Structure 1
Amino acid sequence: MLQKFLPFLVWWPLVGRDSIKADLLAGLTGAVIVLPQGVAFAMIAGLPPEYGLYTAMVTPIVAALFGSSLHLISGPTTAISIVVFSTISHHADPGSAEFLSLVLTLTFLAGVYQLAFGLARLGTLVNFVSHSVVVAFTAGAAILIMTSQLKHVLGVYIPKGESFLHTWVDVFNEIGDINYYILTVALSTLISALLFKRFLPRLPYMLLAMIFGSLVSLLLGAEAHGIHLVGEMPAHLPPLSMPDFSIATIRQLAPEAFAVALLGLIEAVSIARSVATKSNQHINGNQEFIGQGLSNIVGSFFSSYAGSGSFTRSGINYQAGAKTPLSAIFAAVFLALTILLIAPLTAYLPIAAMGGIILIVGYNLIDFHHIKGIIKASHAETSVLLVTFLATLFLELEFAIYAGILLSLVFYLNRTARPKIVTLAPDPEERRRHFTNLERKALPECPQLKVIRIDGSLFFGAVSYTSSTLHRMKDKEPTLTHLLIVAKPINFIDVAGAEMLVQEAKYWKAQGGGLYLCGLKMETEKFLRRGGYLDEIGEHSLFTAKKEAIAEIYKRLEQPFCKTCERRIFRECKEFYDETN
C-alpha cells in the first residue's frame, strides 16, 4: 500500500554504489543535452528562455519519483511547447505577464487532468490512440515549429499570431528584405551543428553550434547589423509562481488544457514503453499518468510550463547507462548548477543561432521512416495520418489531436463492426481433411450445409453486418438450409449479439434447416446459457468440435438430395453413397 503512494520505494533497493556512479554520468550527459534544448523549447512556447530550463529542473524530479519508468526523462518537449504557444497566444501576447500567468494555469489544469486519469486507472486509454495520429501530429508540429522560426532565421518582419499559410505569404512578400547578416549566423549555426553531430557525435553538438553561432555574430558586429541577442538569463533557481485560479480563466482554459494533458500522456507513456522494450521493464501506465500529473501540478508553482516525456533525452539516458530514476534527478541538479555558473553568457547568444538550432530540432521530429511505412501499409491509417497532419497545419492544434483520434476510432469501430466471415470446406488432399479457407483454395461445398468461421466479436456494432451477410449467403444458394458457425475466434458476445443468434436460429429453422455453433469459448457459452439464449437456439445446436457437428448435422440433411449430389465432400457423404449403392 505504501508503494502505491510512494512508488520510488519500488526501485530504491536498486540504488547502490555502482548504480549511483552510472546515474551520475547519465545525469551529467542529460544536463548538457537539455541546456540548449530547454532554451529552444521555451522560445517555441513563446516564453523567456529560462522557463524552459526551469521546466527541465522541476518536472523531471517529480516525474522520476512518482512515475514507474526507470529511464523516462520528463521536461519541456517540442510538441507540448508549440501547443502551449498556439493555445495561449490567442488570449495574450507571447512573453507578457498575462501570457506567463495563463501558461502556468494551463500547466496546472493539464496536471490535474493527468492526475485524475491516473487515479481513475485510465492508463490503458493511450492504447486507443493510433500511432499514426502521434506521427502525423509530430510531423505537422515540426513544420509549424520550423515555419515559426523563419522570421528569426531570415530577419524579416512577420506579425505575431500569424497562421501557417499567412506566415509563408508574409515570407514571400518580404523575400527582398532578408537580413543576410542574420541569415549568415543562422546558417553557420545550423551547418556547424550538422558537422559537429557528424564528426564529433559524443559531444553536445547543439551547445557547440550555439557557441560557434555566437562567435560568428560577434565577428559580424551583432546588433550593429540587426542581429538581436537572447539577453542575459537570471542566474537563480526556479522562483515560486502562482497560477491564475479565477473562475473565468479556468473556464477559458479547461477545454484546451485537456488537449495538452492528452498529448503529454500519449508522449510520456509511448516513450516509456519504447525504452522499456530495450530494458525489459514493465511500465505501469496508471502510475505514469500520476507521475506526469504531479510533475505539472508542482511545476506550475515553480515557474515551469507543461512538460512530458522526452524521446531524445530518455533514449540518451538509457544509452548512457542509467540504472534508476536518480539519473533524472542528477540531471536536474547538474542543470541548476550550470545555470548558476553560465547564465551571464547567454547575453551573447543570438536569436538567429537559436533559430538555426530549432530548425534542426524540428526536422529531426519528422519520422520519415514511419510515415513511409504507414503510407505503404494501410489506406485507412494513411487517411488518419493525412487528416491529422493537415489539421495540425491549418486548424487549431488541440482540434488536430481530437480529429486524428476520432478518425482512428471511427476506422477501428468500422473494422470491429465488420468481423471477417470466412467460408470453410474440408480439403480432400490433406490426410485428416482439415477445413480450409476457401479464399486460400477453391474447394467444393455442400449445397445444403455451409460451414463458416466468424473472426471477431458479436457485439451491438457488428450485429447488422453479420446478419445481413448470413442472409446474403442464403439468397445466393437457394438449396442452403443449414449453417454451422465455427465460434472459436469469437471472444465476446453481448446481449445484441446473443439476440441476433436467436433470430438467426429461428430464420434458418424456418428455411427447413438450422443454425449450429461449435467451439464456443467457455465464458461465451456461460453468457448464452445464463441469459437463456441457448434454450431458444437449442442445446442440440451446440457442439464442441467440427467433426462431431458434421456427423450430427449430416443426419438432418435431406437424404434424397444427398443421393443425387456428386460433391460428397464429407466422410459421411461417401459412407452414405457406399451404403445406397
Structure 2
Amino acid sequence: MQQEETQQTRHVLSFLRAWMPFLIWGQELTPHTIKADLMAGLTGAIVVLPQGVAYALIAGLPPEYGLYTAIITPVIAGLFGSSLHLISGPTAAISIVVLSVVSSVIPPDTHAFIPAVMTLTLLAGLIQLGLGLARMGTLVNFISHTVVIGFTAGAAILIATSQMKYILGIQIDSGSSFVDTWHTLISQLNTTNLYSLGIALATILTIQCVRIINPKIPAMLVGMAAGSFLCWLLQGDQHNVPLVGALPGTLPQFALPDLSIDTISALLPGAIAVAILGLVEAVSIARAIAIRSGQRIEGNQEFLGQGLSNIVGSFFSCYAGSGSFTRSGVNYDSGAQTPLAGISAAAILVLILLLLPDITAYLPMPAMAGAILLISWNLIDSHHIAQILQSSKQEAAILLITFLSTLFLELEFAIYLGVLVSLVLYLKRTSRPKLTEVAPLSFAYGTELRAIKRFKLASCPGIKILRIDGSIFFGAVDHIQRSIHQLPLTYPQSKQILIHCTGINFIDVSGAEMLLQESERLKKAGYQLSFCSLKNYVLDELKANGYLEKIGQDAFFPTVDIALETLVEQVEQHTERCNECPKHVFIQCPRLLETKTL
C-alpha cells in the first residue's frame, strides 16, 4: 500500500514538473530569494527597455510590440520552462526572420501585416508545443553550432543593412532585398542627412564609451538618451530626422490572429523555421547559463515553455520570441535565483508603459539605428568563425553556405539549407568509415591495438587485423564492401582477416547482409573473415536477426587475444612460416610461446 502511494506521488510530481514547474520552484522562495529576484528584475527591465523597442523596429513593428513581447513572453516561458535563469522575449535574430517571412507574404506597410505576424507567432508556438509534447527535445542537437553561427552572422549583416536608411537618412522602399538596399544606399550616398548621421555616430560613440568606463551602467539606455539630447540640441525634427514617437500607454489587448487558411498556408513554412530557430536559441542559452549555475536543463520542458509563451503571446500583441543571451546573462550575474526575476522585470515594464508612455516620444530613429548597429555587431561570433575556418574545410563550407544563403535567400530557406548541407556532409563522413590496419603496441597480453602506419609497427604476414571506425549501416555498406573486396589483392598471403569492432556502434540489416556476403565470398576464395570485440548489444541484434548463425558463431570472438589464440593456431597448422617468421607481432606467436616456456 505504501509502495503504491509512493508511486502515485512520483506520478503527481512528474505531472507538476511537466505542466506546472512554477509550483516546484515556488516552494523554494524565501525573503532572501525574492529580494534577489526583484533586484535582478529591476536590472533586467532597464536592459530590455531599449532592446524591446529596437527589436520591434527590426521586425517592422511599432515599438510597443517589442515591449509587449518583453512583458508576456518571459512570464509564460519562465512559469512553464525548465531554466531558472533564462529570460525570453524579443531577440534580434528572430526579429529579422519574422520580418523576412511575413513581408514575403504581406507588405509591412499594410494593416494586414501585424495580424499576420501574430499568426506566424501562433503557428511557431504550436509547432514548439507539439515538439515538446512529442518529447523531441533532442531535435535541437541536429542543428549544428556552425549553422547557427553562420545564420546569426548573416542575420547581423541584414539587421545592420536595414538600419542604414535611418543612419544616413536615405529613403529606401520597404521589403527591398539585401542587394537592392545597398545599391540604393550607394547610388544615393550624396543625399545623406548629416544630422541623422551625426546623431547615430554620437549614440554609437556614447554607448561604447560607457561600456569601457563602467560595463555595469546600461550603456544602450545612456546612448539613446545622449542621441535624443543631441537631436533636441540640433533641432533634428526641423531637419527631417524622424522620431520613434510616444508609446500608446496601454497594456496589450486581447486580439485574434489572422486565422484564414490562405494566411496560415502561406506562413507555415516560415513558422517552422521560426520555431526551430527559437528553440535552438532558447535551449542553447539555457544550457550555457546552466553550466554556470549547475542546474540541469530539460529540453522537452523548455520546448513546452517556449511554445506556450508564443501561443499565449500571439493573442496579446506579442511577436515570436526566444531566449535572450544578453538578458539571461545579465539576469544571472545580477543574482537572480528563480524565474520570478523575469516576472518582476515584466511587471516593471508594465509600470513604465503605463506611467511613462512618452519615454520614446523624442527618441530619434538614427539613435535607435545606431544602437541596433552595435547589437548586430555583437551578434557576429568572430572568435568561433575564425576557429571554424581554420579547423575544418567541411565546417567552413557549412558556415559560408549558411552565411551567404542568409544574405541572398529567404531567411527560412537559409536555415533549412544550412541544416541540409550539414546533414549531407555528416552522412558523407559517416558513410566512409576508415578501415585501418592495426597491431599490438607491445607484447603485453591485452595490449591496445594501434595503427601500424602511425606507430611504425610490424605486420603479421598471415593475419591482418583491420579496425573499422564507424557503424555499418546502409549508407556505409558500399564503401566498406569495396574495401573488403580489396583485401585479397592488398594482402594476398594473409588468409586470416580479423575485423576489430570496437568502433562499430550498430549494424543494420543492410550491413549485416553485406558482412554475410563478404564472409561467404572470402571463404570460397580461401580466406577466413572473423570479428572480435563487438559490443554486446550489437551482437544481440545480429543474433536476433539470424545473421550471427548465418555468418557462423565461431567467426565472432569476445576479445582480440582470444581471437588471436585461435587464428594463430589455424595459421600454424596450415603453414610452417610461423616458426620461421622473424617479426613476432603477437604474443601468441609460436616462437614467442616457446621462448616464454623456456
**1:10 paired residue number:** 24
**1:545 paired residue number:** 559
The whole-number CA distance in structure 1 between the counterparts of 2:338 and 2:502 is 44
**2:9 paired residue number:** none
Preserved CA contact (<8 Å) 1:138 1:365 = yes
1:424-435 maps to which residues of 2 (within 5 A)? 424-428=438-442, 434-435=448-449
Counterpart residue type for residue 567 of structure 1 = K
Residue 528 (1) aligns with residue 542 (2) = yes
Partner of 2:436, secondary structure, is strand
The whole-number CA distance in structure 1 between the counterparts of 2:219 and 2:480 is 59
Deviates more, 1:264-273 or 1:431-440: 431-440
Preserved CA contact (<8 Å) 2:522 2:528 = yes
2:235 aligns with one of 201, 221, 224? 221
2:521 aligns with one of 489, 492, 507? 507
**2:35 paired residue number:** 21
Preserved CA contact (<8 Å) 1:482 1:508 = no
How far 1:427 sits from its partner (Å)? 3.3
1:115-264 maps to which residues of 2 (within 5 A)? 115-264=129-278
Preserved CA contact (<8 Å) 1:27 1:317 = yes
Partner of 1:517, secondary structure, is strand
Partner of 1:484, secondary structure, is strand
How far 1:91 sits from its partner (Å)? 2.5
Counterpart residue type for residue 388 of structure 2 = I
The whole-number CA distance in structure 1 between the counterparts of 2:520 and 2:329 is 60
The whole-number CA distance in structure 2 between the counterparts of 1:488 and 1:432 is 14
How far 1:433 sits from its partner (Å)? 5.8
How far 1:378 sits from its partner (Å)? 1.0
Residue 342 (1) aligns with residue 342 (2) = no
Preserved CA contact (<8 Å) 2:249 2:355 = yes
**1:97 paired residue number:** 111
The whole-number CA distance in structure 1 between the counterparts of 2:175 and 2:47 is 30
Q: Please, which runs of 5 or more residues in structure 1 have no aligned partner? A: none
The whole-number CA distance in structure 2 between the counterparts of 1:107 and 1:436 is 55
How far 1:480 sits from its partner (Å)? 2.2
Residue 107 (1) aligns with residue 143 (2) = no
With over 3 angstroms needed to count, the CA separation of the structure-2 counterparts of 1:480 and 1:229, relative to structure 1, is same
The whole-number CA distance in structure 2 between the counterparts of 1:447 and 1:55 is 72
The whole-number CA distance in structure 1 between the counterparts of 2:234 and 2:256 is 42
With over 3 angstroms needed to count, the CA separation of the structure-2 counterparts of 1:94 and 1:553, relative to structure 1, is same
Residue 361 (1) aligns with residue 378 (2) = no
1:297 aligns with one of 311, 323, 332? 311
With over 3 angstroms needed to count, the CA separation of the structure-2 counterparts of 1:95 and 1:232, relative to structure 1, is farther
Residue 570 (1) aligns with residue 586 (2) = yes
Deviation string 1:415-458 (CA, Å, 9 cap, x unpaired) is: 22222322111235768765322232112212221112222211
Preserved CA contact (<8 Å) 1:518 1:545 = yes
Counterpart residue type for residue 124 of structure 1 = T
The whole-number CA distance in structure 2 between the counterparts of 1:433 and 1:129 is 39
Preserved CA contact (<8 Å) 2:452 2:459 = no
Residue 379 (1) aligns with residue 393 (2) = yes
Partner of 2:44, secondary structure, is helix
TM-score for both structures, normalised by structure 2: 0.94
How far 1:104 sits from its partner (Å)? 0.6
1:274 aligns with one of 281, 284, 288? 288
Partner of 1:282, secondary structure, is coil
Q: Aligned pairs, how many?
A: 579
Deviation string 1:516-563 (CA, Å, 9 cap, x unpaired) is: 111122111111112221112212112111111111011222313435
1:331 aligns with one of 319, 324, 345? 345
Deviation string 1:217-267 (CA, Å, 9 cap, x unpaired) is: 011112111111111111121122210111111111111111111111111
Preserved CA contact (<8 Å) 1:28 1:330 = yes
The whole-number CA distance in structure 2 between the counterparts of 1:235 and 1:432 is 76
Deviates more, 1:88-97 or 1:221-230: 88-97
The whole-number CA distance in structure 1 between the counterparts of 2:304 and 2:447 is 55
Counterpart residue type for residue 372 of structure 1 = A
Counterpart residue type for residue 219 of structure 1 = L
Counterpart residue type for residue 560 of structure 1 = E
Deviates more, 1:7-16 or 1:39-48: 7-16
Deviation string 1:255-285 (CA, Å, 9 cap, x unpaired) is: 1111111111111111111111111111111
How far 1:570 sits from its partner (Å)? 2.5
1:22-41 maps to which residues of 2 (within 5 A)? 22-41=36-55
Deviation string 1:80-103 (CA, Å, 9 cap, x unpaired) is: 100111111123332432110110
Deviation string 1:126-147 (CA, Å, 9 cap, x unpaired) is: 0011100000100000000001
With over 3 angstroms needed to count, the CA separation of the structure-2 counterparts of 1:361 and 1:426, relative to structure 1, is same
Preserved CA contact (<8 Å) 1:276 1:282 = yes
Q: Please, which runs of 5 or more residues in structure 2 have no aligned partner? A: 1-11
The whole-number CA distance in structure 2 between the counterparts of 1:248 and 1:156 is 35
- Aligned residues: percent identity? 51
Deviates more, 1:341-350 or 1:70-79: 341-350
**2:496 paired residue number:** 482
The whole-number CA distance in structure 1 between the counterparts of 2:476 and 2:110 is 54
Partner of 2:455, secondary structure, is coil
The whole-number CA distance in structure 2 between the counterparts of 1:95 and 1:19 is 46
How far 1:508 sits from its partner (Å)? 2.2
1:399-548 maps to which residues of 2 (within 5 A)? 399-428=413-442, 434-548=448-562
The whole-number CA distance in structure 2 between the counterparts of 1:448 and 1:38 is 72
With over 3 angstroms needed to count, the CA separation of the structure-2 counterparts of 1:274 and 1:428, relative to structure 1, is closer
How far 1:482 sits from its partner (Å)? 1.4
How far 1:577 sits from its partner (Å)? 9.5
The whole-number CA distance in structure 2 between the counterparts of 1:434 and 1:391 is 46
The whole-number CA distance in structure 2 between the counterparts of 1:130 and 1:211 is 39
Counterpart residue type for residue 125 of structure 1 = L
Partner of 2:215, secondary structure, is coil
The whole-number CA distance in structure 2 between the counterparts of 1:133 and 1:418 is 23
Preserved CA contact (<8 Å) 2:151 2:402 = yes
How far 1:578 sits from its partner (Å)? 5.9
Preserved CA contact (<8 Å) 2:446 2:561 = no
The whole-number CA distance in structure 2 between the counterparts of 1:154 and 1:132 is 33
Preserved CA contact (<8 Å) 1:47 1:95 = no
**2:576 paired residue number:** 560
Residue 315 (1) aligns with residue 329 (2) = yes
Preserved CA contact (<8 Å) 2:443 2:586 = no
Preserved CA contact (<8 Å) 2:443 2:587 = no
Counterpart residue type for residue 570 of structure 1 = F
How far 1:504 sits from its partner (Å)? 2.1
Preserved CA contact (<8 Å) 1:481 1:511 = no
The whole-number CA distance in structure 1 between the counterparts of 2:19 and 2:103 is 37
Partner of 2:529, secondary structure, is strand
TM-score for both structures, normalised by structure 1: 0.97
Deviation string 1:477-533 (CA, Å, 9 cap, x unpaired) is: 211221111212322121112112212221221222311111122111111112221
The whole-number CA distance in structure 2 between the counterparts of 1:491 and 1:17 is 52
Partner of 2:139, secondary structure, is helix
1:391 aligns with one of 366, 383, 405? 405
